[in-house]
Structure 1
Amino acid sequence: MTAVAATLNNPPLGIPEGELLFNQVRDVVRDKLAPLTVKIDEGYYPAEVLRALGETGAFCQHLASQNGRGEFDINSALKAMDIVSQECMSTGFMVWAQNVAAWYVEMSANDYLKRTLLPKLARGEVLGGTALSNPMKYLAGIEPLLLSAVETEDGYLLNGTLPWVSNLGPDHWFGSIFKVGGNQPRDVMAMVNTSWPGVTLKQLAKFCGMEGTGTYALSFKEVFVPKNHVLGDPLIPYIKKMKAGFVLMQTGMATGLVEGCIKLCEDVEPKLGHVNCYLDDRPDELREELEDARDLISSLGEDIFNKDAEFMRTVLEARLLGSELSLRAANSAMLHTGASGYLHDAPAQRKLREAYFVAIVTPATKHLRKEIDAMAAL
């Protein structure tokens, strides 16, 4: 048995959990992330921070095969992401991307990837993104699928472009959905590496926020994808299995952002409370709503494989709640901190930009409302 296979079958003992894990994540945030937050906001990709978080066990909590406990602990993964996002939601977003890249493999029936790739993703030894923005919109009837492939005897030749994929760099992994033509036309999902021949990464735009997230446009020209890298074929049963986790794990970004905004409001209370009392969405009001949202999210995380349509609808509603609460909390932080929050490197203005990202990243607010409305009509 190889060392990788042994890791899969017998995950290393002593992986932190509970408060030990969360305290180690807080240490990484304080010592490694916080000094880089402004630099990240301006475009620095913090690979060393992500690897340090991987060493704490932050990326393996939701993976029953990797956390040493044999259970899908979504809620611990969410709390770790929450802690990171309180300081820097760009990094919190990359934690989500890393978690989801590993989730793709965990939810598949691909033993090869579970032996060779999953342990490395779970420990942050290799990094990866999601690449499902376009496919999720495609599955919701919003836009066409942008990647196509021709099937060969032992793989697929992939062509097309994707506008934005995050948490990428040299030798990073991502999940890709493409339309296969030929005698058996169908949609297939597979893991792809950025360093494979024919894959080109380009930074074609400068965003107003989230610049340090390793976001690239991807071009594929006759990229060979081996069949032993397939995650879902047929696609739809696989998507149904992994979708709730994919969506719910985004709420960790939102709860952490809201917590960070509340703390900014609380920090200025001694100086500005006498006038901030006239503002809406006061910190105590936001905290009550945040704790209610956390309770809802936690209950969903404990039942992540519930196949009931109403459960998936509630997951989408929880994700939408995260977007809406993020926008309100960030707006409140700007108003509570006043002119000091409007400075170039002020946390409040950064969190406002981050909050808009929560609301527009796939599934965006309009996407969520479309899916919820369609489910309500059934």
Structure 2
Amino acid sequence: MDKKIENVVLNQIINQHLKPYIKQIDEEAYYPKEFLSAVGKGGFFTSNFLQKEDVRCREIYIIEETAKYCMTSAFTIWCHLAALASFRLSNNPYINNHLLPLFESGDVLAGTGLSNAIKYYAGLERIRLTAKRTDGGYTISGSLPSVSNLDNDHWFVIFASLNENQRIICTLPVNVEGLILESKTNYIGLNGSATYACFFNNVFIPDKWVISEEADEFIPKVRPTLALYQIPLGIGVSQAAIESIEKGHIKNKEGNKLIKPQLIDLINKLQIVRNRTYEYARDEDLRSKGKEILLTRLDIAKLTLEVVHAEMLYSGGQAYLQGSDTFRRLRESYFLVNLSPTIMQLETLC
């Protein structure tokens, strides 16, 4: 599909399946499942006949455009794409030939429970799930405090320890026997992200659901993509805040001259981060840019905070009305700060 046509189609999907539901998503924990499915059915998750660099650029753009209107929905797309990134790296024929087409078509949606893996390999957290070898697969026990983008017909990706020397990556459907989900909707934002605590009681994972039996080698391959795809969450929210500031700036140019930071400074900073992000996406060897990606992920978390706080100042009293888009973006920015890897973790890693 031509890029211009893709952009038109994506905007149509956003207008029809996302914009009318943003307040419900933010205020009533409404999960935008129809929107995600529509994005998939529009062909935006497929990687067929595309270079991996083109896939990355398109998927970053999808997250960015969605985040302009609703970071919750953009985050659920990130969850699905994070799972896709894992599936695409698997050497398991069943995953490649059977599961991957279902996820790329949008017929089946997925979340990712790899936060624990990222923290474990950074030396920040113990492994929460244990695996035992059994006939035809593994049994998994333990718990994950938060996994997002889950519904009764979804799948997700997990990380578990087999022994001191081996860790594995698997996928499983939400309705598998032995898995209990506990809904989490007490956040200041992102309640529409379909986030659950997950409790595993000897959950059986057949071999055909195993993404990799060598997690120590697998995680460094997928980690740069997971971090890279978080950056457009902040780019989209920041762009929306800047556009809001621009509208108000016209009305009170003289008074706004006194506010710091100035609008032009925010625009320039965001453009630098955005250009850098797409440059990484076009790099053939994403792993070689791992450190730079983490630094940019740190930059966008800090910049998004700066931009949305500026929007609060520029917007004045209307920003403090219940249900205002400005206040929603402020809350969304704090999610980005605490999304693993958090600012604290990034400062440690970088």
Query: Fold conserved (TM > 0.5)?
Result: yes
Aligned with 1:178: secondary structure? strand
- Please state if 1:248 is matched with 2:234: no
Instruction: Name the SS of the counterpart of 1:212 in structure 2.
Output: helix
- What is the root-mean-square deviation of aligned Cα atoms in Å? 1.4
Q: What amino acid maps onto 1:348 in structure 2?
A: T
Please list the CA deviations of residues 24-80 of structure 1 after superposition, one character each: whole Å capped at 9, or x if unmatched. Answer: 1111112221111111002000101111111222223xx3xx3x3344421111111
1:52 to 13, 38, 42: 38
1:299 aligns with 2:279: yes
Which of 178, 182, 190 is the aligned partner of 1:198? 178
1:315 aligns with 2:297: no
Structure 1: segments with no counterpart, 5+ residues: 1-15, 373-378
Aligned-partner Cα distance in 2 for 1:102–1:19: 24
Residue 87 of structure 1 aligns to a residue whose secondary structure is: coil
SS in 2 for 1:117: helix
Amino acid in the other structure paired with 1:105: F
1:20 corresponding residue in structure 2: 5
Q: Relative to structure 1, is the Cα distance of residues 29 and 353 closer, same or farther in structure 2, using a 3 angstrom cutoff? A: same
Instruction: Name whichever of 132-141 and 341-350 sits farther off.
Output: 132-141
Q: From 274, 295, 316, give the equivalent of 1:338.
A: 316
Check conservation: 2:111, 2:148, Cα contact below 8 A: yes
Matched to 1:31, the amino acid is Q
Q: 1:304 to 1:139 in 2, by over 3 A?
A: farther
Q: Deviations over 1:70-106 (max 9, x none)?
A: 4442111111111110000110111111111111100
Indicate the residue corresponding to 1:10 in structure 2: none
Are 1:31 and 2:16 counterparts?
A: yes
CA distance in 2, matches of 1:358, 1:307: 23
Separation in structure 1 between the aligned mates of residue 137 and residue 53 of structure 2, nearest angstrom: 31
Mapped pair 1:357 → 2:335: yes
Counterpart of 2:149 (choices 120, 142, 167) is 167
- CA–CA separation in structure 1 for the residues paired with 2:284 and 2:35: 28
Q: Which amino acid aligns with 1:329?
A: V
Contact 1:147 1:178 in 2 (8 A): yes
Query: For the Cα contact (< 8 Å) 2:225–2:286, is it kept in 1?
Result: no
Contact 1:37 1:88 in 2 (8 A): yes
Which whole-Å CA distance do the structure 1 matches of 2:199 and 2:144 have between them?
A: 7
Q: Which of the residues 248, 252, 260 maps onto 1:272?
A: 252
Contact 2:224–2:287 under 8 Å retained in 1: no
What do the CA deviations read for 1:230-266 (whole angstroms, capped 9, x no partner)?
A: 1122112211211111110111111111101101111
Structure 1 residue 99 corresponds to structure 2 residue 81: yes
Q: In the superposition, relative to structure 1, how do residues 29 and 282 fare at CA in structure 2: closer, same or farther (>3 Å)?
A: farther
CA distance in 2, matches of 1:150, 1:362: 27
Q: Which runs of 4+ in 1 moved over 6 A?
A: none
Distance 1:58 1:289 in 2: 28
Question: SS of 1:35's equivalent?
Answer: helix
Q: Distance in 2 between matches of 1:52 and 1:282?
A: 38
Aligned residue identity for 1:59: F
In structure 1, the partner of 2:61 is 79
Task: Give the distance between the partners of 1:276 and 1:34, measured in 2 at CA.
Answer: 30
TM-score normalised to structure 1 length: 0.89
> Aligned pairs, how many?
348
Deviation of residue 272 (structure 1)? 2.9
Counterpart for residue 369 of structure 1:
347
Map of 1:128-207 to 2, 5 A cutoff?
A: 128-181=110-163, 185-207=165-187
Task: Please give the per-residue CA displacement for 1:302-342, whole angstroms capped at 9, x wherever unaligned.
Answer: 1152443xx21101111111101111111111111111011
CA distance in 1, matches of 2:52, 2:24: 37
Decide which of 233, 249, 265 is 1:285's aligned counterpart.
265
1:221 matches 2:207: no
Distance, in Å, in 1 between the alignment partners of 2:315 and 2:9 is 30
Mapped partners of 2:293, 2:165: distance in 1:
31
Pair 304,353 (structure 1): closer, same or farther in 2 beyond 3 Å: farther
What residue in structure 2 maps to residue 109 of structure 1? 91
SS in 2 for 1:161: strand
The residue type paired with residue 351 of structure 1 is: R
* 1:324 alignment partner in structure 2: 302
- Counterparts of 1:41 and 1:221 in 2: how far apart (Å)? 32
Q: Which amino acid aligns with 1:121?
A: F
| Conserved 8 A contact 1:245-1:304 | no
Structure 1 counterpart of 2:146, one-letter code: W
User: How far did residue 17 of structure 1 move?
Assistant: 4.5
Inter-partner Cα distance in structure 1 for 2:264 and 2:182: 44
Provide structure 2 residue ranges, at least 5 long, that are not aligned to the other structure.
none
Q: What's 1:237 paired with?
A: 217
Q: Distance in 1 between the 2:244 and 2:15 partners?
A: 17
